[in-house]
Amino acid sequence: MQKQISFTQSLLLGFLGLGSFIGLWHGLAISGMISNVFLPSPVEVYDRFTTLLDRRFAGATLQGHLFASFQRFAYGFILAALVGIPLGLLMGWYQLLDEIVSPLFDALRFVAPIAWVPFAALWFGTGIGGPIMIIFAGAFPPCVINAYRGAKFVDPRLIEAANMLGTPSHRVIREVLLPSSVPSIISGLRVSAGLGWQSLVGAELIVASAGVGYMMVQGQANISTTTVMAGMVAIGLVGLALDSALRLAERIIQRRRGLEN
């Protein structure tokens, strides 16, 4: 590795990198080499973003679409956590359950979450049910896997001590297994929030009548590149906020456990 560089130097280089990226984009857009319809300048995207905030497009304002998206996301994500975490913990605890569920789980994991779209539409419609199922399909596996790992790799001495002291099985699960797998579970939640959010966007591009993805598809159909880009910015911002919130939770829990390095 090369030597560390000073903070001001890295700040300077960072601004240089970002500046030349945005400058290049802006330059290409206003030079007229690429039609403005296809590559709007950053300023135009920003204008469109603020316009979308108070003018309706594809049936709602940007906040309205974001709210619809987020609502679906929250349902799907919470459902995945409520089913996935207990399943993972139980699989980590009862070997037989692990042996029964694992082959099915492994087979299903190779089906990309987005490939559930046709069945989701067929079973639950394109309103709120279908997208929720796709978010569930995206967010479920990391919940299970991390809860499973958390339960599987609990310090065996803790379980032995609990067993020696005659703790009944359900209390071992609640008071030893669950608390010691919390850090792993939280990391799993962060991964599944990311995948769930991504699946939501995919689902909305294909089947939905509201939400940011729907807004982008409408923008695409109307050849409004600014709308599509504004949608990408909004999706990125919400994704970033979600990730930061869960990262914070992860850090708080690690600190409380004294696991922080």
Partner 1 sequence: MQRRVTIGLITILVVCVIWYAMTTGFGIIPSGRFPAPAETWSAFIHVSVRGYGGGDLSLHVYNSLRLVVLGFLFAVATGVPLGLLMGWSRKAEALINPIFLIIRPIPPLAWIPLAILWLGLGDAAKMMVIWFSAFVPSVINTYAGVRNIDRPVIEAAYMLGVPKMRFVGEVLIPGASPMIFTGLRLSLQASWTTLVAAELVGAFYGIGRVLNVAQQDLYPGMILVGMIAVAILGWGTTRLLGVAETYALRWNTAALAAKG
Kindly tell me which residue out of 128, 158, 159, 232 binds partner 1, with binding defined by CB under 8 A.
232
Q: What tokens were used for 37? A: 């319809």
Distances (CA, A) of 142 to 6, 55, 159: 38, 38, 25
**φ and ψ at 60, to 5 degrees?**
-160, 165
For partner 1, give the closer residue by CB, 189 or 206: 206
For partner 1, give the closer residue by CB, 19 or 179: 19
For partner 1, give the closer residue by CB, 161 or 248: 248
Indicate whether 114 belongs to the interface with partner 1 (CB under 8 A): yes
Indicate whether 165 belongs to the interface with partner 1 (CB under 8 A): no
State the binding string over 12-51 for partner 1 (x if CB under 8 A, else -).
-xxxxxx--x----------------x-------------
- What is the closest distance, in whole angstroms, from the C-beta atom of residue 171 to partner 1 in the complex? 28
Indicate whether 261 belongs to the interface with partner 1 (CB under 8 A): no
Indicate whether 113 belongs to the interface with partner 1 (CB under 8 A): yes
Indicate whether 4 belongs to the interface with partner 1 (CB under 8 A): yes
- What is the closest distance, in whole angstroms, from the C-beta atom of residue 25 to partner 1 in the complex? 11
> What is the DSSP secondary-structure string of 161-189?
HHHHTT--HHHHIIIIIHHHHHHHHHHHH
Whole-angstrom distance, CA of residue 4 vs CA of residue 13: 13
Q: What residues contact residue 156 under an 8 Å CB cut-off, 6+ apart?
A: none
Indicate whether 74 belongs to the interface with partner 1 (CB under 8 A): no
Is the torsion defined by CA of 24, 226, 207, 138 positive or negative?
positive
254, 190 Cβ separation under 8 angstroms: no
